[in-house]
C-alpha cells in the first residue's frame, strides 16, 4: 500500500525517453564488456586447453642473433640469463654447456667410413625429449652416449646419401654404428668409443651427458671457463607476444616457426582491448546517465519528498522504495545480455567445431563473475546517488 502511494507521488515517467536512453546505453556497454571477457576466456581455452594443444609444455632454444655487430660476441652474460629467467613466460631455463676442447668422430666400420671434426654440447636432462637407459656416463663406462638432431639424419639420408651414391641409414643402424671419438689434448689425442643413443627434435646440437661434459671440460678444456651462448627454456605458450617482443628487444632469436602465433595473438589482443575500452567508456556514460536520471526524478519530486519526510517518512524508507524502482531494470538488462551472449557462444561453438577448434558451449564463469561485479558496481552507484539526493532534500 505504501509503495503504491509512493509510486503515485514519485513518478518516474517524467523522463521516459531518458530512461530508455540509459537502458540502451547500459545494455550495449554490458554487451561489449562481457563479450570482451568471454572472447578472452574462449581464446585462453583455445590456447591452453589440452584438446587444442599437442604438448603442454614447449621448449625453445634461444641464442643471440648473429649479425655484423654481434659476430664473435654472442655469449650470454650471467645478467642476461638471470633476466630471462625472471620473465613470467619462462617456466624453466637450462644452459647449453659447450665443449672447451677439440673433438673429432671417426667411423670404425669399413662399410660406412667417415671422419668429421665435431663439437659437443650438454644440457640438463629435464630438457631432453629422448628417454633412454643408455643416457648416462661415468669414468667406468667405456663409451660416450650422444644424442644427435633428427635433422642430421634427414640431411644425410635425403641429401648427402642420394647425391654421393651412399646407402641410406635407419635410426637403429646409426645407433649400432661403432664410432671412435678423438679428443685433442695438450699432449696428443685421447681416444674413446662413442655411441648415438637417440635423436632429438628439440635441440639441434650433438649432445653428451652433463656429467661427461663437466668432467671432460675440466680435464681437457684448453680455454678458460667459456660463457654459454645458447640456452633452452620451457614455456607454456611459445606464441606469447610478450616472449617474442622480449626476444627481439634483447637481440635474441629462436625457432621462428614456434612463435609465429604471436602475430595473430597480438591482433586478437588488440581487438579484445578495444572492446574492453569501448565497453568501459560506455559503461561510464551509461552509469552517468542513470545517475542523472535518478537525480532528475528526485528533483522533479522535490516537494513531495520534502513533505513525505515532514510527515515522518524515514529517509531509509524512501531510499528502499527508490532502489526498488531503479535497480531491477539493471538486473533485467544484465540477464538479457547474458542470454544474448549465451546464444552467441553456442553458435560460435557450433561453428568452431566445424573448424576443429573446441570451445565450451556455455559461458565461462569469468563472464558470469564479471556480470555480477558490474551489477554490484551499478548497485553501489544507484544507492550512492539515491542517498545523496534524498539527503539533499531531507
Q: Alpha-carbon distance 105 to 119, whole Å?
A: 9
Q: Alpha-carbon distance 12 to 14, whole Å?
A: 5
Q: Which of 161, 309, 340, 381 binds another protein (CB under 8 A)?
A: 309
Look at residues 170, 174, 217, 215 and name the one whose alpha carbon lies nearest to residue 194: 174
Smallest distance, Å, CB 10 to another protein? 11
Looking at 88-96, 114-122, 309-317, 371-379, which segment touches another protein (CB under 8 A)?
309-317
φ, ψ dihedrals at 112, nearest 5°: -120, 85
Q: Alpha-carbon distance 194 to 142, whole Å?
A: 9
Looking at 48-56, 81-89, 288-296, 307-315, which segment touches another protein (CB under 8 A)?
307-315
Does residue 304 bind another protein (CB under 8 A)? yes
Task: Please list, residue by residue across 217-230, b when 16 or more beta carbons sit within 10 angstroms of its beta carbon and e when fewer do.
Answer: beebeeeeeeebbb
DSSP-derived 3-state class of residue 177: coil
Q: Which of 310, 354, 355, 356 binds another protein (CB under 8 A)?
A: 310
Smallest distance, Å, CB 47 to another protein? 54
Q: Specify the residue, 5 or 332, whose C-beta has the smaller distance to another protein.
A: 5
Does residue 314 bind another protein (CB under 8 A)? yes
Please list every residue from 88 through 107 that binds another protein, using CB under 8 A.
Answer: none
Does residue 317 bind another protein (CB under 8 A)? yes
Residue 233 DSSP one-character state: E
Does residue 316 bind another protein (CB under 8 A)? yes
Does residue 323 bind another protein (CB under 8 A)? no
Looking at 1-9, 55-63, 173-181, 213-221, which segment touches another protein (CB under 8 A)?
1-9
Does residue 383 bind another protein (CB under 8 A)? no
3-state helix, strand, coil in the chain (%, to 5): 55, 15, 30
Looking at 4-12, 89-97, 218-226, 234-242, which segment touches another protein (CB under 8 A)?
4-12
CB 130 within 8 A of CB 199: yes
Q: Which of 2, 13, 86, 186 binds another protein (CB under 8 A)?
A: 2
Given phi > 0 = left and psi -120 to 50 = alpha, else beta, which region is 72?
A: left
Looking at 188-196, 217-225, 310-318, 346-354, which segment touches another protein (CB under 8 A)?
310-318
Looking at 34-42, 142-150, 160-168, 315-323, which segment touches another protein (CB under 8 A)?
315-323
Smallest distance, Å, CB 393 to another protein? 13
Contacts 24+ apart (CB under 8 A), 174-179: 174/148, 177/107, 177/109, 177/112, 178/107, 178/108, 178/109, 179/105, 179/106, 179/107, 179/108
Q: Which three cell numbers stand for residue 30?
A: 554490458
Does residue 219 bind another protein (CB under 8 A)? no
Does residue 8 bind another protein (CB under 8 A)? yes
CB 122 within 8 A of CB 210: yes
CB 180: neighbour CB atoms within 10 A?
Answer: 14
Q: Which residues bind another protein (CB under 8 A)?
A: 1-2, 5, 8-9, 304, 307, 309-317, 394
Amino acid at each position: 500500500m505504501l509503495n503504491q502511494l509512493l509510486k503515485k507521488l514519485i513518478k518516474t515517467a517524467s523522463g521516459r525517453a531518458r530512461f530508455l536512453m540509459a537502458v540502451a546505453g547500459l545494455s550495449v556497454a554490458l554487451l561489449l564488456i562481457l563479450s570482451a571477457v568471454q572472447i578472452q576466456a574462449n581464446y585462453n581455452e583455445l590456447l591452453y586447453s589440452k584438446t587444442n594443444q599437442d604438448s603442454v609444455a614447449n621448449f625453445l632454444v634461444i641464442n643471440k642473433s648473429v649479425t655484423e655487430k654481434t659476430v664473435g660476441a654472442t655469449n650470454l652474460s650471467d645478467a642476461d640469463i638471470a633476466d630471462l629467467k625472471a620473465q613470467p613466460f619462462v617456466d624453466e631455463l637450462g644452459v647449453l654447456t659447450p665443449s672447451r676442447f677439440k673433438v673429432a668422430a671417426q667411423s670404425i666400420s669399413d662399410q660406412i667410413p667417415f671422419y668429421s671434426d665435431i663439437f659437443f654440447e650438454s644440457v640438463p636432462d629435464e630438457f631432453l625429449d629422448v628417454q633412454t637407459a643408455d643416457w648416462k656416463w661415468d669414468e667406468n663406462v667405456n663409451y660416450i652416449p650422444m644424442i644427435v638432431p633428427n635433422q642430421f639424419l634427414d640431411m644425410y639420408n635425403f641429401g648427402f646419401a642420394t647425391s654421393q651414391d651412399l646407402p641410406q641409414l635407419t635410426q637403429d643402424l646409426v645407433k649400432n654404428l661403432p664410432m671412435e671419438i678423438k679428443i685433442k689434448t695438450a699432449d696428443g689425442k685421447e681416444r674413446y668409443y662413442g655411441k648415438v643413443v637417440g635423436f632429438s627434435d628439440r635441440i639441434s646440437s650433438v649432445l653428451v651427458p652433463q656429467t661427461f661434459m663437466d668432467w671432460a671440460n675440466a680435464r681437457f678444456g684448453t680455454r678458460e671457463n667459456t660463457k654459454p651462448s645458447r640456452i633452452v627454456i620451457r614455456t607454456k605458450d611459445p606464441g606469447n607476444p610478450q616472449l617474442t617482443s622480449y626476444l627481439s628487444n634483447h637481440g635474441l632469436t629462436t625457432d621462428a616457426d614456434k612463435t609465429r602465433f604471436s602475430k595473430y595473438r597480438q591482433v586478437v589482443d588488440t581487438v579484445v582491448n578495444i572492446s574492453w575500452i569501448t565497453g568501459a567508456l560506455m559503461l561510464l556514460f551509461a552509469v552517468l546517465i542513470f545517475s542523472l536520471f535518478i537525480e532528475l526524478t528526485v528533483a522533479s519530486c522535490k516537494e513531495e519528498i520534502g513533505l513525505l519526510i515532514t510527515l515522518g517518512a524515514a529517509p531509509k524508507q524512501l531510499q528502499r522504495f527508490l532502489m526498488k524502482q531503479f535497480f531491477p531494470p539493471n538486473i533485467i538488462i544484465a540477464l538479457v545480455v547474458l542470454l544474448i551472449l549465451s546464444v552467441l557462444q553456442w553458435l560460435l561453438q557450433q561453428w568452431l567445431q566445424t573448424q576443429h577448434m573446441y570451445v565450451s558451449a556455455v559461458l565461462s564463469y569469468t563472464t558470469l563473475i564479471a556480470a555480477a561485479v558490474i551489477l554490484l558496481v551499478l548497485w553501489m552507484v544507484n544507492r550512492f546517488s539515491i542517498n545523496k539526493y534524498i539527503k539533499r532534500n531531507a
